[in-house]
Amino acid sequence: MGQVGIFDDDDRVELLDGEIVAMSPIEPKHASIVNRVNQLLIQKLAGLAIVMVQNPLRLLPRSEPQPDFILARARRDFYAAAHPTAEDVFLVIEVADATLRKDRTVKVPIYARQGIVEVWLVDVAARTVTVYADPVDGSYTHVETARGEETVTPRSLSELSLTVSEILGD
């Protein structure tokens, strides 16, 4: 739709289960966490995964969310030919402040139905990271919430370990 001019490049929308959904404006705290996590991910995952920030994820047949982070399998073309799909993804990270309810009740279930192996939901207000892993029949069988100095490590990228405090900052 962007290519044919229905939406401008500046329009912040994503496709979720066939519905075009407006994305919330990015507040400074949210942006700060994304910047911090981006730096940590790039330092720790150089050569192991491609770190994508707020880019589309193609989930057929009717979703193209734009999570805050996609950690994807390395590809020589850096996904120039097409956006990554569920099979390419090690981890999706959503940073949620104003979007917590939508992320938890709409986006996480979409990721589970598509077989995304792991999702981290960073709850800015509660200062927690909820890990969703092991999707089976459209829902995650493992859900765990970490806080403070507790460590989260993706199952598919054991080289990456972060504390909740590192993710959220001081």
Question: 94 and 122 in contact (C-beta within 8 Å)?
Answer: yes
Report pTM: 0.88
**Predicted confidence band of residue 6 (pLDDT cuts 50, 70, 90):** very low
Within 13 Å of residue 85, how many CA atoms lie on the same side as its CB?
Answer: 8
Question: 161 and 152 in contact (C-beta within 8 Å)?
Answer: yes
Per-residue model confidence as pLDDT tens digits over 70-82: 999 999 999 999 9
Question: Shortest CA distance to 57 belongs to which of 11, 142, 119, 101?
Answer: 119
* Three-state SS annotation for the chain: CCCCCCCCCCCCEEEECCEEEECCCCCHHHHHHHHHHHHHHHHHHCCCCEEEECCCCCECCCEECCCCEEEECCCCCCCCCCCCCHHHEEEEEEEECCCHHHHHHHHHHHHHHHCCCEEEEEECCCCEEEEEEEEECCEEEEEEEEECCCEECCCCCCCCCEEHHHHHCC
Per-residue model confidence as pLDDT tens digits over 121-158: 999 999 999 999 999 999 999 999 999 999 999 999 99
pLDDT at 99 over 90: no
* 87/114 Cα distance (integer angstroms): 9
14 versus 34: the higher-pLDDT residue is 34
**Residue 169 tokens, joined:** 């900052």
Amino acid 61: pLDDT: 82
**Residue 110 tokens, joined:** 């979409």
pLDDT at 28 over 80: yes
Mean pLDDT of the chain: 89
Mean pLDDT, residues 44-54: 94
Mean pLDDT, residues 11-20: 68
| Structural domains of the chain sorted by starting position, each given as residue range(s) with its CATH number in brackets | 13-168 (3.90.1570.10)
Per the listing, tokens 């939508």 go with 102
**Predicted confidence band of residue 56 (pLDDT cuts 50, 70, 90):** very high
Mean pLDDT, residues 61-66: 85
